[in-house]
Each structure stands twice: as C-alpha cells, then as structure tokens.
Chain A
Amino acid sequence: MNALTNIDESKASKLAAGEALPAPSIVGAEGSRTVRAGFLPLVDAAVLIAAAEFGFAQKQGITLDLVKDVSWANVRDRLAFRQFDVAHMLSPMPVAAMLGLGSNPSPTITPFSLGRGGNAITLSTRLYAEMQREGELDASDNALANAQALAAVIRRDRAVSRPPLTLGVTYPFSSHNYEFRYWLAAGGIDPDRDVKLVVVPPPMTSDALAAGAIDGFCVGAPWNMVASERGVGRIVATKQDIWPSAPEKVIGMRPDWADANPETVSRLLVALDGAARWCDAAENRAALAEVLSEQRYVAAPVDILRRVLAGQFTIDPEGNQRVVDDYFVFHAGSANFPRPSQALWIYSQMVRWGQTPMCAEGLEASVSAYRPDLYRRALGQAAPPAEADLVLEGAMPGDGFMDGHVFDPKRIGEYISAFPVKAAGLPRASLDDI
C-alpha cells in the first residue's frame, strides 16, 4: 500500500487535528487539571480506576473524575459533546470515528491502550452438548476445534431447516464483534449468513443466555465467568486463543482537547502508565479486585473478579477449571502502546466484514486514530522505537492468530483476500436482529 509508506507521526497528528471541534468550554484553560473520564463497568477499565483510586493521578497533579455510563453510544456522544474529556473505549471506536462510521462520528484519537485480554466466547451449555455429540470434541479445549464443532452443528441444523443460532456481541465497532467473527470464520462459519449476530449489553448477557434469547456471546470480563458460574454457559475460546495481542480497550479523547491540553495529556499518560504497572503486579491483584467490585465500579462479586484477574476459569457447570496465562495484561509487552499497525488490523476487519470500503483515505484515517507520538512525548524512554509503529502482527512466537494468518500492514488487500470467509459485498441486513 503506497498510502502507508509515508505515514509518520507528524502526518498522523495533522490528520487528527484537521477536523477539530471548537475548544472545550467545560474544562476551560489548561491548569484546572480535573479530567472527566467516562467508563463502562468492565474489568478492563481497571487501569483508569486504579489511577484514580491508588494515587497515580494525584501524584501527577490530576483529579480524575470518573463517570460510569451504560452504553458505548453514550460514551461516544458524551465525549463528542464535551461532557467527558477522556473515555474508556473499545479499541475500534476511535478508528470508526476517524472513518466516519456509526451514527455520530466525531474525531477521536487514542494515545494509550488500557491493556490486552479479558474477552472470551461463551456458548449455551445446551449448544455445547450438541457440539460434543456432533464434533467429537475431546477435553483439550482447542478453540479451533470448538469452532469446527459449532460449524458441524450449524450444517446439521440447516439440513433440518432449523432457524439459525443467535449470537451476541456488544457493539458494531467492538473487539468482540471482530473476535467473534474471526473465531466463527476460522471454523468455516459465515457470521453474516450462517448465524444471526445481535447486540446485547454486557451485564445482560448471562440472563439472555439463560432465557434462551441468545445461544452464545463474546464479551469482556467478568461476564463470561458469570455465565459459566451460573451453569448456563460454556467458555469455548478466549481472546488469547484467537490472537493474544488483540487490542482491547483504549483511552479515547478529542484531538482538539489533546492539542489544547498537552501538559494534562502527558501527565495523564504518566499516571496511567504507573497505574498499569501496578495493576500488572500479582501482589496488587487482590486490592484491585476489591476496588473493582464496588458498586460505583464493576459491581460484581469480589471472588469472581479475583479469579478473572488471575485467569482461573470455571469453564463449565461441572466446575472444570482452565487457567489462561496472561488473561489480563495491563502493561507488560508494550500493552499500553497505541501501535498504528493495530489500528490498521482493526481497519482490515472492518473491510473484511463490509463495514467500510478499502481505500487510501481509509488507511490514513485509521492510522490517524492511534497516536504513538503522544505516548512517546509523555513516556519517552519507555516507548518502543518508531520503527515499531508498523509491524507484522501475529508473527511473534506465542502471539499467532488462531488460523495461522499473519497481518502485514503494508499488504492489507492481500491479507483480506486470503480469508476464505469474508463479506461478499455488503453485509446482509436482517430486521429480526433486534
């Protein structure tokens, strides 16, 4: 891709600042240092919450005013309309915003990722039992074998004209949507034709599964474990199985706010960096689980949060355990670095599933959503070198995609063509989806 060879930091920042909104009226001049941050009650908001609760923000002279919200659409709008200065967001949200996708796109950038991990795919225990019969599953819990077994169930269902399965994700532009689709497609299932994908708010997933409204879902922690503890769901794949480095949540902000408050942005990133290191240390996980469990944050049982943070999964109602190493990584391995090739991988999935066309403008817009320059300005020595901005994704040992593909950010077109399952033109729309 020619468009990519020229992308550098200055270009990225110019693009991002190009369509800025008027200066924020609520926060006012830089110096007030009160940062209003929106978040959704999920474990992956941990770094933001720890920065506020354990003195990391205070040490940088920042008062973090955390505001809990109920939907990603709200978070997006309240950031756009300056009720929030920054927000806990899904990693594809800034990319979608820069591409002009969604019902209210407004320029959004991210200078900091909140870590990796936390997602999993859970199917109903009934469906899993059918997969065991149909797909001869052993107990190895291989994510690809599980997907292929589901494909066998779907083929059998279709032969007897059973209605398609209904599967839940959280938002059209979410890591969950792309990860669920990736897993399904790797098993040979077309997510737009063979199943029905719907949106279910995360806290409602286990109820929806129990009630039979959906047959499975992909969401963040702690909701997968909540469903398996209740005995209604079986975890069939974790994010680590699909792609360990998949970007999860990020800190989003308006480019104009970042431009007007450079010192506050840098201090915020230093605070978040400190909080992320702290969250990664095993000895702090108990205290972290305690705070996250509070009503004003995630509001989930502390023992579940403790096990979620440790990656100790009860995968089925029989109490079978599986330990996923590094289920949550808040800092290690440059987990906070907003790597532009990750933004491009997200773009490749949006193109793969027909959400946006493949074009040079799209590449530039996607890359402008991730701002390694702001990360470097705040965290100089800790930041990876500039040549690490665009790397082969999924090529490192232990970091492969479940189907063995490697993402080359300079050959996105070829990468997408190589998938046997992808959207054939525009995705099929079904009004029964909600």
Chain B
Amino acid sequence: MSHRDLTILVIDENAIRASIIEEGLREAGHGNVTVIHEVHGVARIIETLQPDVIVIDIENPNRDMMEHLFQLTRTVGRPIAMFVDRSDTASIEAAVEAGVSAYVIDGLRKERVKPILDMAVSRFNAFSRLQRELADAKSALEERKLVERAKGILMKMRGLSEEEAFTLLRQTAMNEKKKISEIAQSVVTAAGLLIR
C-alpha cells in the first residue's frame, strides 16, 4: 500500500488554517483529504468516509463529542485511538503545543502516520507565526504613528527641528531604558493633559 491510499479527515473551525493543512497534505501526495469546519454531523461523515486519520484542532470544544463517538465505535469493533506513541513523546508534545491533535485507526503503522502529524504541526506553527507577524506589523505601524505625533508635539512646543525632536525622544528612551514608543506615548499623554 502506498501512502496515497490513506483517507484523511481534517476538522478545523478556522477555514484558512484548514486549507493550509489540506494543501500540505495534497503536496505530500495525499489525495483523499476531506475538510470540515464544524463537528455537527461528523458521525455520518466518519461512517461514510471511513478515515484512517483524523486531524482536529484542540481549541475546538467539540473534541469531547469526538471522544464520545470513539467510545461508542470502539465497542462495535471499529477502534479509533489517538495517535499516541509513548516512545516518541517529543513529537506528541510538539503537536499539543502547536494546538493539533490526531486520531488514527488502531493498528495503522506509525511510520505512515508520523509524517502527517509532523506536517500538521509545522503548518499549525506556520499559521500561528503568520498571525503573530501580522499582529507585530500592526503594532509596529501603531508605534511609528505614535512617534510621529510625539515629534510633532515637541517641534511645536519646544521649537525643535524634526531631527532634533527625534534625537530627544531617542536620547530620553536610552536614558530611561525604555522603548522609544513608550516615551512617545508619555509625550502624547502629557500633551493631552497640558494643552487645552
């Protein structure tokens, strides 16, 4: 059996992240990938699809529903167990930390599942990094705006040039061991209090 035969179900409420995972799976040669964004009705989907691997984000409170389903199916002889290989706790810890969990059909060889979980982990991490970078970029922009406003206030109140105003802000930040945006914030706040 080549790994192309694996049927994979991805459950993620975050549609963007789910599509990133799906793309990764397809790139790795998995053609049988189904993505759903909500758990409602998942029992029927699992029955129809008979997935070998289920990837689910752990922020989803409906994971407890899945546990219930697996508890039921276990008893009718179609075991699904979480991917747990006690000899490889590092990769499981990485998965939990990344916020992804996987269920596999009991008995599936771990060499076949590990690349899928590793891929999901790296894509989950890449997604978080992307979001973090976006947030950082946004706050960098905010900080720049703040410094511009503080410069304007100093130029007006102290009759400084733009360059002198910036040097003053930077020097103060260095002296007080603070970020320049924090000094700029103080200037803007103070000006708001002093100038009517």
Contact = CB atoms under 8 A, between A and B. Distances in A.
Interface of A: 21-22, 70-74, 77-78, 81-83, 101-104, 106, 170-172, 198-201, 203-204, 354-355, 426-427, 429-434
B61 A70 contact: yes
A201 B82 contact: no
Interface of B: 39-44, 46-47, 58-73, 75-76, 80-82, 84, 86, 89, 92-93, 96-97, 101, 103
Nearest to B70: A103
A103 B60 contact: no
7 contacts: A71-B64, A72-B64, A73-B66, A101-B71, A355-B71, A429-B76, A433-B69
Nearest to B84: A104
Most interface-central of A73, A74, A78, A83 (chain B CB within 10 A):
A73
Given A429-B73, A433-B69, A81 B64 contact: no
A252 B150 CA distance: 53
A434 B70 contact: no
Given A103-B80, A171-B64, A70 B89 contact: no
A87 to B, nearest CB: 13
Nearest to B95: A81
Contact of B72 (A72, A102, A430): A430
Nearest to A26: B93
Contact of A103 (B43, B62, B82): B82
Contact of A82 (B39, B44, B93): B93
Contacts of A82: 93
Given A82-B93, A104-B82, A172-B68, A77 B58 contact: yes
B113 to A, nearest CB: 14
Contact of B75 (A104, A199, A204, A354): A354
Nearest to B86: A21
A433 to B, nearest CB: 6
A71 B60 contact: yes
A355 B89 CA distance: 28
Contacts of B65: 198-201, 434
B43 A431 contact: yes
A171 B61 contact: no
Contacts of A106: 84
A71 B61 contact: yes
Contacts of B93: 81-83
A201 B71 contact: no
Contacts of A104: 81-82, 84
A81 B67 contact: no
Nearest to B41: A434
Contacts of B47: 431
A170 B64 contact: yes
A434 B39 contact: yes
Contacts of A426: 75-76
Contacts of A74: 58, 63, 101
Given A429-B76, A431-B44, A433-B69, A71 B39 contact: no
A201 B64 contact: yes
Contacts of B44: 431-432
A153 B195 CA distance: 74
Given A77-B82, A83-B96, 14 more contacts: A70-B63, A71-B58, A71-B61, A71-B63, A83-B93, A103-B103, A199-B64, A199-B68, A203-B61, A355-B71, A426-B75, A429-B72, A432-B43, A434-B39
Nearest to A354: B75
A103 B76 contact: no
- B41, B46, B69: most-surrounded residue (chain A CB, <10 A): B69
Contacts of A430: 72
B166 to A, nearest CB: 39
A279 to B, nearest CB: 26
A192 to B, nearest CB: 10
A74 B96 CA distance: 9
A395 B92 CA distance: 45
Nearest to B40: A434
